[in-house]
Structure 1
């Protein structure tokens, strides 16, 4: 064991997290491959954008199935019809959806998803939804039937990377405060830490 910024770090935990994520990635690849020609729901659970981006890049490299990637706009109100509209006449082998955590009317979207869940069976491909803790909790509460269909794959951030993330955020906050000067008050929004902001959500997930 060693101490970094007064946080105890187990050197074996770093390796264990890497092994865990590699196993999760293999599970995700296998779920996509085995679901060809039929609908299946896969929830990829990850709270950190940088880690998610890393995993997605590895998925692109390791998965033999081409994956159509969709990013939801903040203004969307439904999931099924949004996917259907974005695909048009396409018949993808798999679809991966980003941005649920940024949807303004997320609760409305999830309730609508639960109501029309049977329509998802019209899709003949697996759908991977990237979710955070907050999205997952709302899924369970507002779309329990839809969530119950899912295969859940989790990805974890190693303690060392988590500490780096916290230190980087702290440095950025102090830099903004110094740049603003002593006479200017900066609220959380000005520091990119407003309620619901991606950076704040990631920090809260680190507790």
Structure 2
């Protein structure tokens, strides 16, 4: 089903931004051989902050249903709060549990957004996949919280890579559906999709 043009114009950028954030974090975890605890907590915190920022930008777009902004705001807020808490931790098990709780809350919030709005708002269907990935990553962290920083980054990074792929496919799909209108938005205009103040 093709996404309405005004919706596609409004959402393709923030969707691709989230994909880029997830891709950068996920790919970077592949090349970290023996990361310190500090790199684990700061890296995951940065990933959560930038993911939350991308989500805020997404939910501010005009076509996003007002009622859908509630659960998505909760997801973004959970990621932000989780990032702050991580900065004060120095134990890998504690970091694993906090990251798991943060991703679980965000995942559940996205699943709620999907369940309530998937029929009326086509982009909401993406929240099924991102929500399940978030919950799945949280479960993985809870089950393997004893791993070292490299192992924990592998779990979170693996989930991030999957999210990056899903969001990239979706974002480029919206970009295609937007057609020539996307070029106008890219040059500074936001027809049908200006972010709310």
Q: TM-score, normalised by structure 2?
A: 0.26
Greater Rg over alpha carbons, structure = 1
Structure ranking higher on relative contact order (CA contacts 8 Å, 6+ apart): 2
Q: TM-score, normalised by structure 1?
A: 0.25
